[in-house]
Amino acid sequence: MSDVLNLTLKIWRQANSEDRGGFQTYQLSGISTHMSFLEMLDVLNEQLIANGEEPVHFDHDCREGICGTCSLMINGQAHGPDRETTTCQLHMRRFNDGDTIVIEPWRARAFPVIRDLVVDRSAFDRIVSAGGYVSVNTGNAPDANSLPVPQQDQEKAMDAAACIGCGACVAACKNASAMLFVSAKVSQFAVLPQGKPERDRRVLRMVAQMDEENFGSCTNTYECEAACPAAISVSNIARLNREYLRASLTSDA
């Protein structure tokens, strides 16, 4: 296998949210297979600037797979071909010399494009503010070990809490549903004793906000789980549905 790649990139360019947008094709040569995908885009941008063209805008920050900022559809797959891997952790050794790579932004009505590959995911923040928390003011907490939590519950909570909020689940879903994201936050608190007092109100309000943000419905195709870089399981969606049903039937909230 060659250590250096020559690539054709088809990248979505859109000047602003009003612009219609379209694909532009770029040729890139001499890409080392050790580069990360975003470093490959850095090289492209340096080339564009040298030619007096506007660089491609894309969201990124930590470049170590945890902040959830990077967000690219790569050849039709959210975060590209590797399982449990964000775009920033995808490396060029996954591609072959001569490949054509198609790069698009997340596509969802709830995530409008701001420019090129950058989208607005503030809908997720509004969903969290509708109940993704335990209501405990600073200074009110009892000693941490006064509340034992069974290790298996803690592990389940951690599995759900690992969500990085990137939105790949929405982008991968044919309905642009946010159920995996919402279910991860609901699940984290549903399995912990700290979350019990607000259990009903939380799930009802978060789901209502999700609907208000124009996310689609879940039809159980599991694309979200396949795309999720943090390995959030669809079993959380089942738990969300149970929590929602329970709260709807029993809650007077």
Partner 1 sequence: MAQVMASTLDSKIPDGPINEKWDNRKNELKLVSPNNKRKYEVIVVGTGLAGASAAASLGELGYKVKAFCFQDSPRRAHSIAAQGGINAAKNYPNDGDSVWRLFYDTVKGGDFRAREANVYRLAQTSNQIIDQCVAQGVPFAREYGGLLANRTFGGAQVSRTFYARGQTGQQLLLGAYSALMRQVDKGNVKVFPRREMLDLVVADGMARGIITRNLVTGELETFTANAVVLCTGGYGNAFYLSTNAKGCNVTAAWRCYRRGAYFANPCFTQIHPTCIPVSGDYQSKLTLMSESLRNDGRVWVPKQADDSRPPHEIPDEERDYYLERRYPSFGNMVPRDVASRAAKERCDSGFGVGDTGQSVYLDFRDAIARDGIDVIRAKYGNLFHMYEKITAENPYDVPMRIYPAVHYTMGGTWVDYNLQSTIPGLFVLGEANFSDHGANRLGASALMQGLADGYFVIPYTIGDHLASTKFDAVNEDHPACASARNDAANRISEIMAVEGQRSVDSIHRELGQILWNYCGMSRSAEGLTEAIDSIKKLREEFWTNVRVMGTGEGLNQNLEHAGRVADFLEFGELMVRDALNRNESCGGHFREEYQTAENEALRDDENFCYAAAWEFKGVDEEPVLHKEELTFDYVPLTTRSYK
Q: Which of residues 17-46 bind partner 1 (CB under 8 A)?
A: 32, 34-36, 38-39, 42-43, 45-46
Nearest to 15 by CA among 52, 54, 51, 41: 54
Judged by CB under 8 A, does residue 53 bind partner 1?
Answer: yes
Judged by CB under 8 A, does residue 121 bind partner 1?
Answer: yes
Stretch that binds partner 1, among 4-12, 77-85, 102-110, 172-180 (CB under 8 A): 77-85
Whole-angstrom distance, CA of residue 203 vs CA of residue 213: 15
Nearest to 33 by CA among 4, 75, 1, 8: 4
Determine the length of the chain: 253
Judged by CB under 8 A, does residue 195 bind partner 1?
Answer: yes
Stretch that binds partner 1, among 49-57, 169-177, 214-222, 239-247 (CB under 8 A): 49-57
Judged by CB under 8 A, does residue 118 bind partner 1?
Answer: yes
Dig out the tokens for 50 from the structure: 């040298």
Dig out the tokens for 181 from the structure: 């994201």
Binding partner 1 by CB under 8 A: which of 4, 23, 96, 133? 133
Judged by CB under 8 A, does residue 187 bind partner 1?
Answer: no
Judged by CB under 8 A, does residue 212 bind partner 1?
Answer: no
What spatial distance separates the first Cα and last Cα of the chain, rounded to whole Å?
Answer: 61
Binding partner 1 by CB under 8 A: which of 12, 95, 181, 189? 189
Amino acid symbol at 13: R
Which one, 83 or 217, has the nearer CB to partner 1?
83
Binding partner 1 by CB under 8 A: which of 11, 44, 78, 157? 157
Nearest to 86 by CA among 108, 63, 114, 107: 63
Binding partner 1 by CB under 8 A: which of 8, 25, 27, 61? 61
Binding partner 1 by CB under 8 A: which of 4, 136, 208, 238? 136
Binding partner 1 by CB under 8 A: which of 8, 24, 120, 214? 120
Contacts of 185 (CB under 8 A, 6+ apart): 127, 128, 132, 160, 163, 206
- Tell me the CA distances in angstroms from 43 to 2, 11, 31, 47, 115, one per residue in order: 19, 14, 8, 6, 19
